[in-house]
């Protein structure tokens, strides 16, 4: 038989366990009821059904105003551009060569030097050429003296007949008429030469060419030619810049002997550059001389150079079916170098007086294009119909209803509109 004391202790333990269980069960039920009540209250609040007697504290929801960027809808030209690769070149580039033999006395040219037209770039030793000129000038004086003595002691001129004078007058008139007819292409070269020959014979018969004939017979005329040749050779010992430019590719040095025809250095002018763009045969009809062109070079990222189409080649390359378009661009800072690759955009189609919005303003929702317009601080979406467009702007066509288009001057949002809802409150930031 179990002792009474043990039974009492056991009973007390059982009662304690049951009491603890009941207390915990009540707390759990109360918490569940409280959670259900809270959920119901939140649900009612979301539907706007909370009465003024609901025992929950309320806080007013703050109105959120979203900052956006916007620009006005405008009217203007929409320019469609044709893209093409191109290469820079200059037509002012020349390899200067020696025109006479000699030793380099002074070399003024240096790599990269800027020179003006007429600047001396190189001098050859000219002592030999000066002596040759002096010799020819001395011989000329000798022949000239002989001619003078011949005239002083010559017999009296023979009498000029009236017939010779009349013949000269007629030949002179024929020569003037023949010159005019030849310039206009009315007579041939052979016919003109015959008229000219008859006129010269008439001059001789009339005594008008006497001094020239005597000078020629005495060798004076030929000697005067020799003097001019000697002077030209002396002048060629100095190499001058034929135009303003930059010296490059120097191939000689001081004290070096050079022969006639030896290449000395190159002179190039890049103050104005030309771009040879390769345009597809199918697109050549879209460009015109005088149209503007944008030029971009990898050496200057983000910078756009402006040029003008100045010529279109009449020949299509049979291999790649492209045609060359030449674009002129001013290059005062000499940033563009011949040989540089260019990305060219030529204005091919120009549409005037079009209603335009930036491409950044256009969104697509539900398969339809729209823009957000700011009205009284609210973002209103408008479905739109697009006409012509380029990378920067799109033409907006009239819609069937007012809410399916935009008007000139309205502010369309270009930034901060990707997650906007209709009627969202916005403020335009500067």
Q: Decide if pLDDT at 40 tops 80.
A: no
Look at 29-38, 210-219, 343-352, 421-430 and tell me which has the smallest mean pLDDT: 29-38
Structure tokens at 330: 């001013």
Q: Decide if pLDDT at 15 tops 70.
A: no
The alpha carbon of 429 is separated from its chain's Cα centroid by a whole number of angstroms, namely 35
What is this structure's pTM? 0.61
Structure tokens at 388: 């012509």
Query: Per-residue pLDDT tens for 111-141?
Result: 999 999 999 999 999 999 999 999 998 888 8
**pLDDT for position 331:** 96
> What are the residues facing 74 on neighbouring strands?
356
Contact 107, 256 (CB under 8 A): no
State how far the Cα of 293 lies from the Cα of 306, in Å rounded to an integer.
Answer: 6
What CA–CA distances, in Å, run from 155 to 152, 214, 420?
Answer: 9, 14, 116
Closest Cα partner for 263 from 98, 383, 31, 121? Answer: 98
Strands (E), 249-291: 257-258, 263-268, 272-280
Average pLDDT over residues 281-294: 92
State how far the Cα of 128 lies from the Cα of 183, in Å rounded to an integer.
Answer: 44
**pLDDT for position 70:** 95
**pLDDT for position 236:** 96
- Residue 117 makes CB contacts below 8 A (sequence gap 6+) with 241, 242, 243, 244
Q: Decide if pLDDT at 39 tops 60.
A: no
- 271 falls in which pLDDT band (50, 70, 90)? very high
The alpha carbon of 4 is separated from its chain's Cα centroid by a whole number of angstroms, namely 114
Contact 73, 406 (CB under 8 A): yes
| Choice between 57 and 127, residue whose per-residue pLDDT is larger | 127
- 30 falls in which pLDDT band (50, 70, 90)? very low
| N-to-C CA span, the chain | 97
SS3 call for 159: coil
Contact 405, 382 (CB under 8 A): yes
Closest Cα partner for 37 from 9, 56, 51, 62? Answer: 56
SS3 call for 391: coil
Query: Per-residue pLDDT tens for 377-389?
Result: 999 999 999 999 9
The whole-chain average pLDDT of the chain stands at 83
**pLDDT for position 46:** 35
């Amino acid at each position: 038989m179990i002792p009474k004391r043990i039974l009492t202790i056991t009973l007390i333990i059982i009662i304690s366990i049951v009491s603890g269980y009941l207390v915990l069960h009540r707390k759990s039920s109360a918490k569940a009821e409280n959670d259900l009540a809270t959920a119901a209250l939140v649900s009612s609040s979301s539907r706007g059904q909370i009465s003024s007697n609901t025992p929950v504290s309320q806080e007013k929801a703050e109105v959120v105003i979203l900052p956006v960027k916007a620009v006005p809808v405008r009217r203007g030209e929409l320019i469609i551009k044709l893209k093409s690769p191109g290469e820079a070149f200059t037509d002012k580039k020349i390899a200067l060569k020696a025109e006479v033999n000699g030793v380099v006395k002074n070399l003024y040219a240096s790599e990269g030097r800027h020179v003006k037209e007429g600047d001396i770039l190189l001098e050859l030793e000219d002592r030999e050429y000066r002596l040759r000129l002096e010799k020819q000038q001395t011989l000329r004086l000798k022949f000239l003296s002989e001619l003078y003595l011949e005239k002083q002691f010559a017999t009296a001129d023979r009498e000029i007949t009236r017939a010779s004078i009349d013949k000269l007058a007629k030949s002179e008139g024929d020569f003037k008429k023949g010159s005019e007819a030849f310039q206009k292409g009315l007579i041939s070269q052979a016919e003109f030469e015959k008229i000219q020959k008859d006129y010269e014979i008439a001059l001789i018969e009339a005594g008008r060419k006497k001094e020239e004939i005597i000078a020629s017979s005495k060798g004076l005329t030929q000697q005067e030619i020799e003097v001019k040749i000697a002077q030209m050779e002396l002048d060629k010992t100095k190499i001058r810049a034929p135009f303003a430019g930059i010296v490059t590719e120097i191939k000689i040095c001081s004290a070096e002997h050079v022969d006639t025809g030896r290449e000395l250095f190159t002179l190039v002018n890049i103050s104005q550059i030309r771009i040879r763009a390769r345009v597809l045969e199918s697109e050549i009809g879209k460009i015109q001389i005088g149209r503007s062109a944008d030029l971009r070079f990898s050496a200057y990222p983000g910078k756009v150079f402006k040029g003008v189409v100045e010529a279109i080649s009449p020949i299509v390359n049979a291999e790649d079916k492209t045609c060359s378009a030449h674009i002129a661009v001013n290059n005062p800072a000499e940033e563009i170098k011949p040989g540089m690759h260019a990305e060219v955009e030529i204005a091919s189609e120009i549409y005037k007086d079009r209603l335009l919005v930036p491409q950044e303003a256009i969104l697509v929702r539900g398969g339809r294009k729209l823009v957000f317009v700011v009205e009284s601080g609210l973002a209103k979406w408008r479905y739109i119909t697009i006409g012509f467009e380029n990378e920067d702007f799109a033409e907006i066509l009239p819609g069937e209803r007012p809410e399916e288009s935009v008007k000139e001057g309205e502010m369309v949002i270009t930034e901060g509109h990707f997650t906007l809802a209709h009627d969202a409150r916005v403020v335009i930031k500067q």
